[in-house]
Amino acid sequence: MPLPPSPSEALSTAVDGVEVLGALSPSRAADFMTCPLLYRFRTIDRLPERPSRDAVRGTLVHQVLEGLFDIPATGRTPERARDLLVPAWERLLEAEPELAEMFSGDADDDTAFDRWLTSAREVLDRYFSLEDPRLIEPAERELYVEALLDSRLLLRGFIDRLDVAPDGRIRVVDYKSGRSPSEAWEGKALFQLRFYALVIWRTRGVIPAMLQLVYLGNGELLRYVPDEQDVLATERKVEAIWRAIQLATEDGDWRPHRSRMCDWCSFREICPEWGGTPPPLPEAAPADPCGLTAEDVG
């Protein structure tokens, strides 16, 4: 059954085919670059995916870090952050009761949930080795942003945290619960933040002074200072991805691209690269084929 549209779409300018020809988020653009068939399964077919423990731990830690900044600065301690974990998990579970199924395969191992929660605690503790949240007052958290390009392509997404210095310099921060990439993959990892730098430049007229990825899996920061050439190159890249998506849509040609990402793909059983057969394309295209998903939010 296709997934219902994300509630976050309510924030977004509608894709009407006239003023706005299409929309793209960094996650969906990255899907297409990774594998056009993966993009199709997620955004055209909207096939459901079983939540993975790693992904849900990432969402949980994001929520705790967001909530941490609701506490007055002096109280933002590791102990206080840990106290937020279980209530945040309970809220997640209330919103999506099916998350409980993540542990249903471990009927013989009643420690699976506790071990998972402990790993979330460790990830959270690592945050405090990278930043001191008592010294940070974010200007925005989980900020929805969008910008309409001259081509009438709408760029949109959610920024984890935006810091604005007294002199107006902007830092875009994104939390990753995994490990930092090797040098060869840094450019790919930074694509999402370059995308946001472009959106901020187009909407606020300023290029962020700093893009910062916070890798909580191994406690590393990846920082990058973008310039005008960077954001212009990102704009050209995003437009090219969009043209390629339109071509694939017109031709119905969503080619699989086998890579190490297949190891994490939910769709191997229906992927021709792995001996599967994709379902027929839906007869009607989704109203908003580039809808935002939970991945864009956290």
The binding site for ligand SF4 (CB under 6 A) comprises 35, 37-38, 256-258, 261-262, 265, 267-268, 271, 273-274
Q: How far is the CB of 54 from ligand SF4 (least distance, A)?
A: 16
Residue nearer to ligand SF4 on the CB measure, 79 or 263: 263
SS (H, E, C) the chain: CCCCCCHHHHHCCCCCCCCCCEEECHHHHHHHHHCHHHHHHHHHCCCCCCCCHHHHHHHHHHHHHHHHCCCCHHHCCHHHHHHHHHHHHHHHHHHCHHHHHHHHHHCCCCCHHHHHHHHHHHHHHHHHHHCCHHHCCCCEEEEEEEEECCCCEEEEEEEEEEEECCCCCEEEEEEECCCCCCHHHHHHHHHHHHHHHHHHHHHHCCCCCEEEEEECCCCEEEEECCCHHHHHHHHHHHHHHHHHHHHHHHHCCCCCCCCHHHHHCCCHHHCHHHCCCCCCCCCCCCCCCCCCCHHHHC
Residue nearer to ligand SF4 on the CB measure, 2 or 87: 2
Q: How far is the CB of 112 from ligand SF4 (least distance, A)?
A: 26
Q: How far is the CB of 47 from ligand SF4 (least distance, A)?
A: 10
Residue nearer to ligand SF4 on the CB measure, 23 or 37: 37
Q: How far is the CB of 178 from ligand SF4 (least distance, A)?
A: 17
Q: How far is the CB of 150 from ligand SF4 (least distance, A)?
A: 32
Residue nearer to ligand SF4 on the CB measure, 196 or 254: 254
Q: How far is the CB of 158 from ligand SF4 (least distance, A)?
A: 24
Q: How far is the CB of 271 from ligand SF4 (least distance, A)?
A: 3
Residue nearer to ligand SF4 on the CB measure, 37 or 213: 37
Residue nearer to ligand SF4 on the CB measure, 172 or 271: 271
Residue nearer to ligand SF4 on the CB measure, 173 or 265: 265
